[in-house]
Structure 1
């Protein structure tokens, strides 16, 4: 070995010793983050209960109930190697992330939890919430009686008989996922995953499909969904076709959608183009739009309360999916009774009508939902049978039995 090689090896050896010394002196967690005596939930619980509702977007009782539900899935054992984050702080940090959409770095300084720990606990708590709540608060109807109950609600509240759900989809915008190329690149030249959702007459989600890549067309998203497969195989448990009130022609129970979806036996969408005032087509479009606003308002309040959807998500795809799932079930959970509903969506939150005139809900006055964008509206060819069904609904809406005073 020559002198130059010996000198290089000596330098490398010294550098290795320096690195080892530095590693020994570096802390595993920043010292101030180890102050677990700081617990934002407990402090707000004692000093500012109103602030607690605003900070976590739920009441103290809701927080405590959620904590009990997911405790077995998020509680960790303390070991000699780490300082475990208590379950209430884990839930609180996740709810705060959903409520604000702040970066992990920003939350680290608010909550004294390192961003590395936040990146692990947020998806874990989100999936625990989804697992614990989905069977109770996100249940697709499966019997004729359940579908008829929803249909009765659409008829009594929105004057659309045989309606069983309002369907729409949103692109959930996110930063470009690593090593995915153009898989998530959508028509608006952003990166996204798709949330396809259906709501009942009372602003509750009854079906969701999450995770389709943004580059897939709107038709592809629906056609690849479990809802489409269930409709095609007739396994949703829908009531058989029957006449509208006072009529004789059998008509199906239908899902209310917009131009992004195909007109079919069980899916109604508006007539395209402009139509004369008072014409059956125009009245049909108005009645359909009025009832379909349910899903538009549901997405609106979701993004208004869970502001993580106000801007592009800055997390991995898997975490983004868990965030969406948790937010949807929390939406339904927080609307489960009058007390929680009044806190989550107080009077004036949703669109209302007065003498046929639309009064915009409070969610519309806030900043645009940059993190939720609509599916594209594309022209489609439809089967003659589906057109006939739509024409029958339109004729009924202008008949003496089916018309309502304010529709003109």
Structure 2
């Protein structure tokens, strides 16, 4: 069987799998679906009003024809970027695949459908509501690491050293919650070894293969649960550096302060 025939079979297979599975196993979230996700994050990770953890992952690919250095990343290999939002059960809520490896300056995130939907308010996030066992109103938010921008809908850690105890508590609570996206990438890598190698095919097919693996990841979790022993899965730190221009707004800082005060008044109790 020739390479072109194999390529045609793979192309048809991944297209069919995505078409058949994505509406059931990665549907566009509704406000009610986000509320359910937030309840699961609070129950499991003690972070209220969290509707997802976001991060990016470089996937090694063959240098696309006539692409120059567009896909050559800061780690000195050619890659495309998987940008993902993950729920409390390690499932992908939304993905964007195909960002250039060179786009380590935030271009991939800014170009993602998730970012655009958040910015133009077409994503159906729930309306602000009181935090659990509180009368303090807060919006629903995504959590991210320090390389992301601080926005009213994206919470990131406080930076710098010698932080006040309340800021350290916020950072620890956010870090615990955010690790679900690292875990999801780790599970994905451990299940599909192709992601640990160079995907040697044309760029558009590589994009669709990655999308297909993400939807299969969700399908397996929906049907079987997280079957891996998570202690045996490697959860690397994010390998994508987002650097969006601009300082956080006072509104974004105010939202983070709301969560910081809430965590200070409702500390975790370890038993």
**Equivalent residues of 1:259, 1:377 under 8 A apart:** no
TM-score by length of 2: 0.92
**Equivalent residues of 1:218, 1:375 under 8 A apart:** no
The equivalent of 1:281 in structure 2 is: 167
1:364-375 mapped onto 2 (5 Å cutoff): 364=234, 374-375=239-240
Q: What secondary structure does 1:121 align onto?
A: helix
* Runs of at least 5 residues in structure 2 that lack an aligned partner in the other structure: none
Once residues 257 and 275 of structure 1 are traced to their aligned partners in structure 2, the CA distance between those partners, rounded to angstroms, is 21
Q: Which has the higher helix share?
A: 1
**Equivalent residues of 2:182, 2:238 under 8 A apart:** no
1:255-334 mapped onto 2 (5 Å cutoff): 255-276=142-163, 279-334=165-220
Do residues 117 (structure 1) and 1 (structure 2) align? Answer: no
Once residues 195 and 239 of structure 1 are traced to their aligned partners in structure 2, the CA distance between those partners, rounded to angstroms, is 26
After superposing on structure 2, the runs of 4+ consecutive aligned residues of structure 1 that deviate more than 4 Å are 377-380
1:7-406 mapped onto 2 (5 Å cutoff): 113-142=1-30, 144-276=31-163, 279-337=165-223, 340-341=224-225, 345-346=227-228, 348-349=229-230, 361-364=231-234, 374-376=239-241, 378=243, 381-399=247-265, 402-406=266-270
Once residues 363 and 321 of structure 1 are traced to their aligned partners in structure 2, the CA distance between those partners, rounded to angstroms, is 24
TM-score by length of 1: 0.63
**Equivalent residues of 1:165, 1:198 under 8 A apart:** yes
Tell me how far 1:321 sits from its aligned partner.
0.7
User: Alignment RMSD, CA only?
Assistant: 2.1
* Runs of at least 5 residues in structure 1 that lack an aligned partner in the other structure: 1-112, 350-360
Tell me how far 1:184 sits from its aligned partner.
1.1
Compared CA separation, residues 125 and 373, structure 1 to 2 (3 A): farther
Once residues 105 and 208 of structure 2 are traced to their aligned partners in structure 1, the CA distance between those partners, rounded to angstroms, is 22
Q: What secondary structure does 1:376 align onto?
A: coil
Q: What secondary structure does 1:364 align onto?
A: coil
Q: What secondary structure does 1:325 align onto?
A: helix
